[in-house]
Structure 1
């Protein structure tokens, strides 16, 4: 099964429990028509640039896609005199833009007003690799450029894609995947972009995550790394959780099996072969990593714990995962970045942290026989989406 934890495997870019079951196997086409629709109602097509980058799953080579749909391995020769590679695809002069996606795993970036900068470098194995824009790093050459991205894996058993906000939110995007069914995710409520920034600004702890004049808002984990968010933010809540389960059993259900945990010796100890979990840090919670790393057979339990921490349901719900969204984000210490994102999507689904797909709350779709994908840049203002 494809999840965000495996969606970009080997792509050398930032990379949660399956959220949708695959329909009966049907071989996917080798190219997928992609339509890009500019409904920003603020920016003309000639101000918008597209980039399709990632990994050729057959060879492991990092690649980019040209406007004609050709998948090209990256090489140092792509770097121009300024040291950067121009991998941009301009939108059509008028109307919608049509491309063909080849089999690969990666990202579709969009930048507005200016092009973002990629650089081809050499990875640890001596192979050419792309350095991607990082909107959460103030020294990044594209830091001042309005840009965002979605993620996808397209291969023989289907298309798997999401509108991610795990790293940041900047440009409102909607995906519609057609195939065995028609699925749409990522649509904001009317005036959703402005409401998201207003909601983040209303919380003093999260307000510093807003970059520039509402250029973007970065995820709190990146805020910790940038020194603009408190590294001990979740500490009081973690203490509550650890104190509660020192005397009460925590029950986590995965695939019909219940795993029981209890805090002992400062660690959360489970039965049935599940690994012991050390007390996580705030950074571990936001990144769903470190003490909450989802590797190995204990991964599904780690994902559920990570989601429960971020949604602040772990302390007062001993049976996990919780699936009632009305119980999420109710405490003062919570992932309010994710809360605000979910509040402002029509279907209340968003990818606000890496395990946001637990209980199917992520802006993620998949189809084993896809016929087309539409990426729509949705309104920046109060116009109905």
Structure 2
């Protein structure tokens, strides 16, 4: 199996864009079940109690357990749901909005030591807020369904912009547990996840001082320094571009050089579907192989979001090629390697113009893996773990 096909592109796109939107479309659907209100009984409560054990440990060294607020929100089937303080699964309702028009879905940690919960089968996020609580809002979408507006820490007008918070993403379904620590949107709180099941897995750990290392690396770079929001978070350059914090044409010269280079030589992309060979013609790069696929010349924004001209449909053909191209642009390996995807981390980010945000995050993690952009799982360099027979999940707030 070629690593560029490790996970479907639709998963990348869905997980990268959940926050700040009406979470009305499920990432993974499960059979509809009855849901209980907070503290209620019934099938949902039983499902939550019988779910995957989750142990949360606060080793931040900066915040006591009483200052750490946990949230588990997401979707199950076609319903937006959240885990209650009593461990039941409840649907998101408009009546959840109270003071200030926001819903308090926080789950407190135990006063001391580890906090133990159970995750039912659902798909969503586990948020961690330090100090202040997060503000969620239940809303009715244009389709009439109840959705959930989630925090968007990269948007200055968002009510949670001033709150120190971060999240991990997961899908718990009949095929097992699939989860990642993500920095696709932002990086704020160092988090590590682990799974015990058919095997033991862990990812996301930053050694002591790793967070400071990331902040300093970007604060000292002229093009990336405005992505650093005090000591609160670093915004991904994709969102930074949209917010006017990052150069709109940062990758343009590099993109021009790539397009010029492959007018005169082949670009080869290997995927599970086979090998594709491409050349630039009429401002498009067209690949032949198992099928013919073409891509228009991308913009800097397309590169950073791995979208637009680099959008990856979940078709097993165009999607894997787009993913390999998106990763190669962000890692700046297209001029040095005409065969993609490249797999050796030593070849990544080795030019002046590169995704220094992703570079800094990868450099700070203990295993070199991180989710710095949407296609960072190409060649298996994302902080993603899964297990078909999970027995226990761990979430640890590691030292700042």
What's the TM-score once normalised by structure 1's chain length?
0.92
Q: Which of 217, 237, 244 is the matching residue for 1:199? A: 217
For residues 81 and 189 of structure 1, do their structure 2 counterparts lie closer, same or farther at Cα, with a shift above 3 Å needed?
closer
1:82 aligns with 2:100: yes
> Structure 1: any 5+ residue segments left out of the alignment?
16-28, 381-385
1:54 aligns with 2:59: no
Instruction: Please state whether the residue corresponding to 2:128 is helix, strand or coil.
Output: strand
Q: How does 1:319-334 map to 2 (within 5 A)?
A: 319-334=339-354
Q: Distance in 1 between matches of 2:369 and 2:148?
A: 30
For residues 358 and 11 of structure 1, do their structure 2 counterparts lie closer, same or farther at Cα, with a shift above 3 Å needed?
closer
Q: Which residue of 2 aligns with 1:43?
A: 63
Q: Distance in 2 between matches of 1:168 and 1:249?
A: 35
Superposed displacement of residue 122, structure 1: 1.1
Instruction: Please state whether the residue corresponding to 2:206 is helix, strand or coil.
Output: coil
Q: How does 1:102-251 map to 2 (within 5 A)?
A: 102-211=120-229, 213-251=230-268
Contact kept in structure 1, 2:184 and 2:371, CA below 8 Å:
yes
Contact kept in structure 1, 2:15 and 2:169, CA below 8 Å:
no
Q: Which of 1, 6, 10 is the matching residue for 2:11? A: 6
For residues 147 and 155 of structure 1, do their structure 2 counterparts lie closer, same or farther at Cα, with a shift above 3 Å needed?
same
Superposed displacement of residue 258, structure 1: 1.1
Q: Which residue of 2 aligns with 1:271?
A: 288
Contact kept in structure 2, 1:68 and 1:99, CA below 8 Å:
no
Q: Distance in 1 between matches of 2:110 and 2:379?
A: 39
Superposed displacement of residue 125, structure 1: 1.2
Instruction: Please state whether the residue corresponding to 2:368 is helix, strand or coil.
Output: coil
> Structure 2: any 5+ residue segments left out of the alignment?
1-5, 22-48
Q: Which of 15, 21, 31 is the matching residue for 2:51? A: 31
What is the aligned-residue RMSD (CA, Å)?
1.7
Task: Identify which range, 234-243 or 249-258, moves more after superposition.
Answer: 249-258
What's the TM-score once normalised by structure 2's chain length?
0.88
Q: Which residue of 2 aligns with 1:24?
A: none
More helix by share: 2
Q: Distance in 2 between matches of 1:193 and 1:239?
A: 34
Instruction: Write the deviation string for residues 65-93 of structure 1: whole angstroms up to 9, x where unpaired.
Output: 01232111101000003100000001101
Instruction: Write the deviation string for residues 307-360 of structure 1: whole angstroms up to 9, x where unpaired.
Output: 000000011210000011111001111000000000000000000000000000
Q: Which of 342, 345, 348 is the matching residue for 2:362? A: 342
For residues 268 and 239 of structure 1, do their structure 2 counterparts lie closer, same or farther at Cα, with a shift above 3 Å needed?
same
Contact kept in structure 2, 1:234 and 1:333, CA below 8 Å:
yes
Q: Distance in 2 between matches of 1:9 and 1:309?
A: 21
Superposed displacement of residue 275, structure 1: 2.1
Q: Which residue of 2 aligns with 1:21?
A: none
Q: Which residue of 2 aligns with 1:358?
A: 378
Q: How many residues align?
A: 364
